[in-house]
Amino acid sequence: MRRRAANEKKMSNTIVVGAQWGDEGKGKIVDYLTENTDVVVRAAGGNNAGHTVINGGMKYILHLIPSGILWEGKMCVIGNGVVMDPLGLLLEMDKLRDQGVKITPENLLISETCHLVMPYHKALDHVREARRGDKKIGTTGRGIGPAYADKVERDGLRAILLTQPEILEQELRTRIVTHNETIVAAGLLPILVEETVADVLKAAEILAPHITNTTVYCHEAIRAGKSLLFEGAQGTYLDIDHGTYPFVTSSNTTAGGACTGSGVPPRMIDKVVAVAKAYTTRVGSGPFITENEDIGDMLHNMGREYGATTGRARRCGWLDAVLVRYAVMINGADELAITNLDGLDGLDTVQICTAYKLRGQTIHYPPSTIAEIEACEPVYETHEGWRQDISGITAFADLPPLAKAYLKRLEELTGARISLLGVGPSRDQTLVA
């Protein structure tokens, strides 16, 4: 693997997005790219996302805090587009500190306008999932959807209230009482008012020093010549507008969401890197054209593909180049980072979905409705597997020729150059193409 010189020019402002249904290994890629950046910004989603980073033999699992927190001297920002669970954030901070990670207002800032996820949002999440019956979305139950719903309905609580405890207490009490009617009617236990208020106010006292206008901070950093790295959450096909609706999350997970969720305009973005696994996975319900039970069994037996947030086994299948190509287009991706190539090491043959058959017609883009997606059949091309352990390879040039051929074909099918390659979970198992 090429190591960058200390005096090498820092990277430009870059957005990292998922090109599939999330869980593509964005945390690992962000962690790797952070070495040559100054500020890492999380701009969407909540603690329903989980990024796993392995370094020095230690596994770090992050949910709200950007992966850049693992590097000294970097500033991490939770932007205005995030919905932030203050109680969940404290637990995350405590766990990271137990692992030796430093977290202070000098390396973690929280937007004063990001919205808060409260305990009643989690209860409402379960209520709404139960009402869907066999049409469940498969949410994590972390209250993300109800929190975004409150935001859109202009009835949410924003992080600035963590610095105004008297107002926060009053607003919180009112909302708990109101939402408990729905929660109890659904057969769930009510949210305990006094206990919840006390917990949130305690969290507010701890988090208040981190609260600031992060939009101003990001612009001042750019003017000072610093580089920003925007850490995507979930993936393109969980985007509320561009994903497999309604089996999506409640925010814009594509590159545009990084701008609206941070206050940094598109003209200040220099590069977009889309991350995709060398195969495809998804968690929860919804259509999955290339899903393959044998691939799933193989990966699960290897101890792979279990969610960092929920521990749920992910659904698995062959790489769907139709999805990745469309994601490259939507996000304006300049480059691809392919992860988990080593997951295919033992296969005699590897398949790539290059198109869909929809009622006899060949199409090269994902349809917009669930009914049409479910009617699609994958069109595969078969490649010979490399049948070799590549996890110890440290230079792209040393990859087996058949692995290189597979990657070359992915470039042709997606229209984006592969710049980074993951051959294992650790930071040092990242190859520069």
Q: Is the pLDDT of residue 3 over 50?
A: no
Which pLDDT value is given to residue 308? Answer: 65
In degrees rounded to 5, what are phi and psi of residue 62? Answer: -115, 145
Bigger pLDDT: 333 vs 135: 333
The CATH architecture to which 115-209 belongs is: Orthogonal Bundle (1.10)
Q: What percentage of the chain carries pLDDT values higher than 90? A: 84
Is residue 9's pLDDT more than 50? no
Q: Inform me whether the pLDDT recorded for 4 exceeds 60.
A: no
Q: So what's the pLDDT on residue 135?
A: 72
161 phi and psi, to 5 degrees? -70, -20
Report pLDDT digits (tens) over 98-146: 999 999 999 999 999 999 999 999 999 999 888 887 777 777 789 999 9
What does the pLDDT read at residue 48?
A: 83
Is a pLDDT exceeding 80 seen at residue 6? Answer: no
Transcribe 155-191 into DSSP letters: ---BGGGGG-HHHHHHHHHHHHHHHHHHHHHTTPPPP
State yes or no: is 242 an active-site residue. Answer: no
Which CATH superfamily is 14-111+213-432 part of? Adenylosuccinate Synthetase, subunit A, domain 1 (3.40.440.10)
Q: Is 70 exceeded by the pLDDT of residue 228?
A: yes
What mean pLDDT do residues 62-89 have? 96
The pLDDT of residue 19: 98
Name the band, by pLDDT with cuts 50, 70 and 90, for residue 10.
low
The per-residue pLDDT for 57 is 82
Rounded mean pLDDT, 237-248 = 95
Three-state helix/strand/coil letters over 231-255: ECCCCHHHCCCCCCCCCCCCCCCCH
- Identical fold between 14-111+213-432 and 115-209: no
Catalytic residue among 31, 51, 210, 242: 51
Phi, psi of 211 (to 5 degrees): -80, 130
In the predicted model, what is the mean pLDDT of residues 344-359? 97
Kindly tell me if the per-residue pLDDT of 351 is higher than 90: yes
Residue 193 has pLDDT above 60, yes or no: yes
- What φ, ψ does residue 222 adopt, rounded to 5°? -65, -45
Residue 23 catalytic?
yes
Asked which of 15-24, 46-55, 273-282, 298-307 is least confident by mean pLDDT, the reply is 46-55
Q: Looking at per-residue confidence, does 360 or 11 come out higher? A: 360
* 31 close to 122: Cβ distance less than 8 angstroms: no
Amino acid of residue 346: G
Give residue 8's pLDDT.
41
Model pLDDT, residue 56:
80
The strand pairing partners of 12, in sequence order, are none
- Residue 106 tokens read as 């000098």
Q: Which residue's entry shows tokens 């920003």?
A: 228
How many CA atoms does the CB half-sphere of 401 hold within 13 Å?
0
Strands 39-42 and 75-78: parallel
Helix, strand, coil percentages, rounded to 5, for the chain: 40, 20, 40
Q: What is the pLDDT of residues 283-309, one digit of tens each?
A: 888 999 999 999 999 999 988 888 766
pLDDT at position 309: 64
The reported pLDDT for the residue numbered 11 is 61
Inter-residue long-range contacts of 222-225, CB under 8 Å, 24+ positions, other chains counted = 222/13, 222/264, 222/268
Q: Is the pLDDT of residue 7 over 50?
A: no
For 331-334, which contacts have Cβ atoms below 8 Å and span 24 or more sequence positions?
331/15, 331/17, 331/19, 331/236, 331/254, 331/255, 331/272, 331/274, 332/255, 332/272, 333/17, 333/19, 333/255, 333/272, 333/273, 333/274, 333/416, 334/271, 334/272, 334/273, 334/416, 334/417
Which whole number is the average pLDDT over 348-376?
96
Residue 338 structure tokens: 């392919």
Averaged pLDDT for residues 264-293: 95
C-alpha 197/C-alpha 176 separation (Å) is: 9
Domain residues of the chain, as ranges? 14-111+213-432, 115-209
